[in-house]
């Protein structure tokens, strides 16, 4: 059996920023006053906290316009899955993101299209103002 020696690890050791959940109404209201980008499957709000905390803040909301409780929960689950795949890569440390579900589109849109929507929204939000 060969010695591994100083071989690099097989898994990437690049640190990813921590993602924390937005829980207070004030956090959601602050994001609502910041930049917004609408895409087919959702509305994305983003703000730079400027507090020195490198964590990425993440919140989700779906109004009753999305549907009954089952539909709202399904929409939020889909938004959480999309955010889990995209935000560690494209999200910036020290920023808060709120994903808002849209009636019909968030639940019925294909998953790959939701991924593309979130990528596009984040690129637009971080582009020049």
Q: What does CATH list as the number for 25-126? A: 3.30.230.10
Condensed to tens digits (0 to 9), the pLDDT of residues 4-43 reads 556 555 555 556 678 899 999 999 999 999 999 999 999 9
**pLDDT of 129 above 90:** no
With cut-offs at 50, 70 and 90, classify the pLDDT of residue 104: very high
| pTM, to two decimals | 0.85
Q: What is the pLDDT of residue 17?
A: 74
Query: Which has the closest alpha carbon to 56: 14, 84, 26, 34?
Result: 84
49, two tokens: 């906290």
Percent of the chain residues past pLDDT 70, beyond the cut: 87
């Amino acid at each position: 059996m060969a010695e591994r020696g100083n071989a690099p690890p097989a898994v990437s050791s690049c640190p990813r920023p921590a993602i924390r959940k937005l829980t207070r109404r004030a956090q959601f209201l602050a994001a609502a006053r910041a930049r917004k980008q609408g895409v087919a499957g959702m509305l994305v709000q983003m703000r730079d906290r400027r507090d020195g905390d490198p964590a990425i803040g993440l919140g989700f909301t779906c109004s009753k316009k999305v549907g009954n409780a089952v539909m709202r929960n399904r929409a939020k689950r889909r938004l959480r899955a999309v955010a889990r795949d995209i935000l560690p890569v494209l999200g910036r440390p020290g920023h808060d993101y709120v994903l808002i579900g849209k009636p019909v589109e968030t639940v019925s849109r294909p998953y790959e299209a939701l991924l593309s929507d979130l990528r596009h929204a984040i690129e637009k939000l971080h582009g020049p103002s």
